[in-house]
């Protein structure tokens, strides 16, 4: 990392931690220059980077200020219980999901970014090209573990991010969702306990429910992710068969575990021989200078099962994901073969063609910038329209904003009222085995901002104020 990126990173952490609160003034260029013993150009570059990320704004003749927005939620104050519980969320989740599929609803409840943000033409061209020239025998050679050309591309990206996984350690799957489900099945048996974040991705809750497992919720800071002490408590309270964690831009909080804490978490689990299923589907969507390093980077024992996918960063609807399963790779390949045999071959070869032509990095940079700027719009609108006492996360990547509303607001009731007015949202209880987070909602800022969305957030704020 260059000097200016390092400086920007440090400031970003201070903003995330609330040391520099929204609206506060940043140190002047001169002050910072002398304190950090760097050149003026370095400070200006840092500020420019932070401004591009939407984290700070320059005001003419006044200097730089932390972008305004609601205050961040504190680590959930509610006492957590380290003991596992059975999971029964599917009815609620499917009830809510059914609504988000309706196109008439504003997409704040959606799990996907807008499909208009993706290079659909280039992808279609790659798919056409590779399918026309496809070796018919790929129907045999691309059986699990999958297309070698695609696995090579994924391995190259691993190398660039500091993860040592070769093409032969990668299994291509029907989206990351299949990868995650295969992992969970590979390392558990019915009745086992799985440690998850709190709040957690509802897909993890459903997978746990589907396989007859129990969930132990680990306290999760809205900024810094997994709390190490809480994790230790959970592990001490019972035998834990596996963890399912998102290290970066966690769904639904947007939390990102600091780089320094990542090896500690991996080590703690390795000491106890517990496999860590790493759901890293948002990893490419960082707003900062570089991607956080996945848990898999610190895996010395083959115990991290790293799952990724292209649905959120490149090719929605193609359903191509993968897993680098470490020591569980052979079992995962068998489970994949037994449960869905293979993965769509034109899509695998089409992606390999797309990567071979370049352009992915340019697309990603543009996508990250747009998501960051949409986040600013979302936070500004929440500040303006939501009732006093509202808090919200400012994730460093991805496209989710987690909003804590005043205690009296019931998110399920808000969901009902909002749906009736054509506004989608994801209520907090979908993200918890205990149906907690009753006064929280997850809002999607993955859609290009316009007057309709602005009006939608205004109306949502008014409804929340009514309930508060």
Which parts of 284-303 interact with its own copies (CB under 8 A)? none
Residue 428 contacts residue 436 (beta carbons within 8 Å): yes
Q: Does 92 bind its own copies (CB under 8 A)?
A: no
Q: Is 319 in the site for its own copies (CB under 8 A)?
A: yes
Binding-residue pattern over the window 356 to 395 for its own copies, x denoting contact by CB under 8 A: ----------------------------------------
- Using CB atoms within 10 A of its CB, is residue 305 exposed (0-12), middle (13-18) or buried (19+)? buried
The one segment of 2-10, 72-80, 172-180, 266-274 that binds its own copies by CB under 8 A? 172-180
Rounded least distance, CB 254 to its own copies, Å = 21
In the complex, what is the shortest distance from the CB of residue 137 to its own copies, in angstroms, rounded to a whole number?
6
Candidates 50, 56, 72, 177; binder of its own copies (CB under 8 A) is 177
What is the pattern of x (binds its own copies, CB under 8 A) and - over residues 135-154? -xxxxxxxx-----------
- Out of 71, 258, 346, 387, name the contact with its own copies by CB under 8 A: 346
How near is the Cβ of 311 to its own copies at its closest, in Å? 8
341 near its own copies (CB under 8 A): yes
Q: Which is nearer to its own copies, 48 or 134 (CB)?
A: 134
> 155 forms bridges with which residues in the sheet?
none
Looking at 29-37, 78-86, 94-102, 451-459, which segment touches its own copies (CB under 8 A)? 94-102
Residue 265 interacts with its own copies (CB under 8 A)?
Answer: no
Query: Can residue 317 be called a binding residue for its own copies (CB under 8 A)?
Result: yes
Task: Indicate which single residue of 50, 193, 345, 380 sits in contact with its own copies (rule: CB under 8 A).
Answer: 345
Binding residues for its own copies, rule CB under 8 A, total 55
User: Which two tokens mark 458?
Assistant: 């205004």
| Interaction mask 98-137, its own copies, x per CB under 8 A | ---x-x------x-x--xx-x-xx-xx--xx--xx-x-xx
Residue 210 or 232: the one with the smaller Cβ distance to its own copies is 210
Q: Which residues bind its own copies (CB under 8 A)?
A: 90, 94, 97, 101, 103, 110, 112, 115-116, 118, 120-121, 123-124, 127-128, 131-132, 134, 136-143, 174-175, 177-178, 181, 190, 203, 206-207, 210, 212, 316-319, 334-335, 337-347
């Amino acid at each position: 990392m260059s000097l200016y990126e390092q400086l920007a990173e440090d400031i970003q952490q201070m903003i995330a931690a609330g040391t520099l609160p929204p609206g506060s003034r940043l140190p002047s260029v001169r002050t910072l220059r002398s304190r950090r013993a760097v050149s003026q150009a370095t400070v200006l570059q840092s500020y420019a980077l932070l401004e591009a990320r939407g984290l700070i704004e320059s005001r003419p003749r006044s200097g730089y200020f932390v972008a305004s927005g609601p205050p961040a939620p504190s680590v959930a104050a509610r006492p957590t219980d380290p003991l596992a519980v059975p999971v029964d969320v599917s009815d609620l989740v499917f009830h809510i999901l059914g609504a988000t599929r309706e196109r008439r609803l504003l997409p704040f409840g959606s799990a996907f970014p807008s499909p208009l943000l993706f290079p659909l033409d280039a992808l279609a061209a790659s798919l056409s090209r590779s399918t026309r020239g496809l070796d018919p025998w790929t129907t045999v050679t691309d059986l699990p573990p999958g297309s070698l050309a695609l696995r090579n591309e994924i391995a190259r990206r691993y190398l660039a991010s500091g993860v040592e996984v070769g093409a032969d350690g990668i299994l291509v799957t029907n989206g990351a969702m299949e990868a995650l489900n295969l992992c969970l099945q590979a390392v558990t048996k019915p009745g086992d306990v799985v440690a998850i974040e709190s709040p957690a991705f509802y897909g993890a809750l459903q997978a746990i429910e589907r396989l007859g497992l129990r969930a132990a919720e680990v306290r999760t800071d809205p900024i810094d992710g997994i709390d190490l002490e809480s994790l230790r408590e959970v592990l001490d309270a019972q035998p834990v068969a596996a963890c399912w964690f998102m290290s970066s831009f966690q769904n639904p909080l947007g939390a990102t575990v600091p780089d320094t804490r990542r090896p500690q978490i991996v080590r703690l689990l390795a000491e106890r021989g517990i496999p860590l299923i790493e759901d890293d589907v948002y990893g490419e969507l960082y707003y900062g200078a570089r991607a956080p390093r996945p848990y898999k980077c610190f895996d010395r024992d083959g115990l991290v099962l790293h799952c990724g996918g292209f649905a959120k960063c490149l090719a929605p609807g193609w359903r191509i994901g993968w897993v680098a399963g470490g020591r569980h790779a052979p079992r995962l390949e068998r489970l994949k073969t037994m449960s869905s045999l293979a993965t769509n071959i034109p899509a695998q070869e089409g992606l390999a063609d797309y990567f071979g032509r370049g352009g992915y990095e340019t697309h990603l940079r543009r996508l990250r910038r747009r998501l960051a700027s949409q986040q600013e719009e979302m936070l500004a609108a929440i500040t303006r329209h939501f009732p006093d006492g509202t808090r919200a996360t400012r994730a460093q990547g991805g496209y989710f904003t987690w909003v804590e509303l005043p205690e009296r607001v019931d998110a399920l009731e808000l969901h009902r009222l909002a749906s009736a007015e054509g506004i989608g949202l994801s209520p907090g209880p979908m993200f918890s085995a205990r149906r907690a987070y009753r006064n929280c909602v997850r809002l999607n800022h993955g859609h290009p901002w316009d007057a309709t969305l602005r009006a939608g957030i205004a109306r949502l704020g008014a409804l929340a104020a009514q309930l508060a």
